[in-house]
Structure 1
Amino acid sequence: MVTKKQLGDEAEARALRHLLDHGLVLEQANYRVAGGPFSRGGEIDLVMRERDGTLVFVEVRARADAAHGGAAASIGSAKRRRLVYAAQCYLMRLATPPPCRFDVVVFDGERVEWLRGAFDAGP
């Protein structure tokens, strides 16, 4: 039997291949921070870099099909806040933070969709 972790790891690997095929470069996978204002901390599945230097924080979501809004609909406000928090922690490590954005790669069954600029860091 395949676990949720294995399914998630496979989705992240597929998303990485998709983004690499489109010219992005991997900076870091599975960047995690603990605690902060959120008891669960935060995690960014993939931190990528565009050719123009833009840093891209990528959330990967997979669902068996598009029922109930599909994979994209599963990213609620609490998840977005944890992603923003993790991204802020990542950016604090850099001397000069570059332009950045939040993307989402979703898999609904076999269909892949790359949502550039899926959400903002604001409230």
Structure 2
Amino acid sequence: MPTSDQMKKALQSYVDGFDRGDAASIVALFADDAVVEDPVGNPPISGRAAIEEFYTNAVAAGSRLVLDGPIRGSQGNAAAMAFTVEVPAMNVRIRAIDVMTFGDDGRIVKMQAYWGPDDMEQ
């Protein structure tokens, strides 16, 4: 199981990938059979190809993440971060909390994004 520090570093790499506009570096953090639920309640996206398409589109829209506080680890296999995503192509900001669950190899196996309509602003 990855350490809290390893999970925090992976989440920072996730944020950094958005800052660089580098979808490939974001996708590389995920296991081949990972699941993305963004936001929670939407149908999950699963598998490498679907996750790659999801993040390629997010980066193409100019999405950038601004952390609202430190990344949080755990004594288990998950870590979380609160942030604001700015999407210039849609002229929107979304306040979100992402919870990532990790496999034993340190790659993300599940990403759950917690945000709703009240967390969006133009």
Superposition TM-score tier, normalisation by shorter sequence = 0.3 to 0.5
TM-score (structure 1 length as normaliser)? 0.35
The structure that has the greater radius of gyration is: 1
TM-score (structure 2 length as normaliser)? 0.35
> Which one scores higher on RCO, CA 8 angstroms, separation ≥ 6?
2
